[in-house]
A and B are shown apart, each in its own frame.
Chain A
Amino acid sequence: MAAAAKRVPLPAILLANDLLDGDVVFAAAAGPGGLAWTRDPARALVASDDAAAERLEAFAAAELRGNTVVDAYLVDIALEGGRPVPRHFRERFKTLGPSNRPDLGKQAGEGIAPAPKG
């Protein structure tokens, strides 16, 4: 296998699209030492060092193989008010939704608890 592609600068989060729904999902801490997908960008696990980033990468590879998500990759972020915010505007839109439709997507709370329908 070729050497791994150059990793984005840290800190970073892992995002992907859910296979079934297409929604943007984020890897979050779940249970002791575990990871699971969440639709809430605020809950995304922030990897600040190489070990944490490798863990996210391993999770991405397993989940792609397991056919639960597609298009999984790390995104470099800045912490703003304790929340991870992607540094690049493209990825910021993925955590928000269409900028011309504030009534749609994550910015409108879609798929994010405690919305009534998840």
Chain B
Amino acid sequence: MGKTRAILAATAIAALTLTTAACSSGGGGGGSSSGSDKDTTLTYWASNQGTSIQNDKDVLTPVLDKFTQKTGIKVKLEVIGWNDLQTRIQTAVSSGQGPDVVNIGNTWGAWLQSTGAFAEFNDANMKAIGGADKFVKTALDAGGAPGKTPTSVPLYGLAYGLYYNKAMFADAGLQPPTTWEEFVAAAKQLTTGGKYGLALAAASYTENIHFAFLTAAQNGASFYDKDGKPTFTSQPIVDGLSRYLALMQTDKVVNPGNAQYDNGTQAIADFASGKAAMVLSQNNADASIKADGMSPDDYGVVALPSPKNAKAEVATFPAGINLSIFKYTKHLSQALKFVKYMTSEDTQSTLDKPYAALPVLAGAKASFTDNADEAKVFLDAYNNKSKPLPQVATEGSFESTIGKGLSQEFATIATGGTVSDADIKAMLKTAQEQVEAQG
């Protein structure tokens, strides 16, 4: 019986292969390569930057139409939510089928670079999009491993800041904090009457890993050593994470309910509706806060404060969105033209405002906000107080393992448990083993 089955299966598979092979000789090989601009349609996957996917389409469509008018190259746009973007990029990488140009989170730069699936911006390609010099150096460096030819270029710049409710601070007679200690003290004072000092998206692994990185960096720690080996369990890292978790555990300035927020916008909604006095967010929160009904005059922004005895003053990492071209594209020259257009001064000034993005072009003015103070705070953090996330091939699992570990520890705290330093260390050890298994 088993033998019959095996033979049957083998025959069938062979037959299938033959059919496929036979067909392949007849069929054409898909689209033509690098034809004239007029016959070319580029596929572009944009990430969800606006208030909704529909909103993104509304913002981008006129910009892309203008590109088509100028060059004759048509662009097929698909906006992809952050939940799906990674999986979709994976399928494109593994199959060589997908878009020509894609938006990526710039922290993925080195990791996606290691797949070898993306076109390198070597001298010729870089020249075609206007030269490396046109970008802010911090922004360009953030998108790939040091010393390697970049495979992505910056599109939108983002930075973290501490948003605070001006009225609540004034009522309590408080000044915006300049150190971590002041920050916690203010948050404690503002945690009264059902309101909390701070809102956190404590179930969002991306937010968690970002703050884990920042608090650890303030303690002078790195998650990887010089050779790119993970060193997650060092004491300064444990201390940094402990300080971050303490916001809910011992300082009690974060509503335990936030342990369910798996999306940064939920924390922003609490801030905008006055349920929390402060929120830590990237500068594109402006659009969300406004959509939630809070006037830009009612909040202020300061840099994420460091502790008094901090080893390094780190307020953000150079966050943002980059553009990459898939290596398999049959329209490299057109794709380069498109990247050049998207990173041109004109397009950037059009898009920075709706997406509340920091400029990635050298010498460009910040146009994401009309508030000069806010712009100054974010630009200062981005340019002077930033440290990039680890630029290693395992960056993706570094983010997901530690970020999710922290989500679970927040859940433990919220449901009445305690998280000791030993627990944090154990979580980091688990994460490190998973990352090592991949590397």
A binds B: no
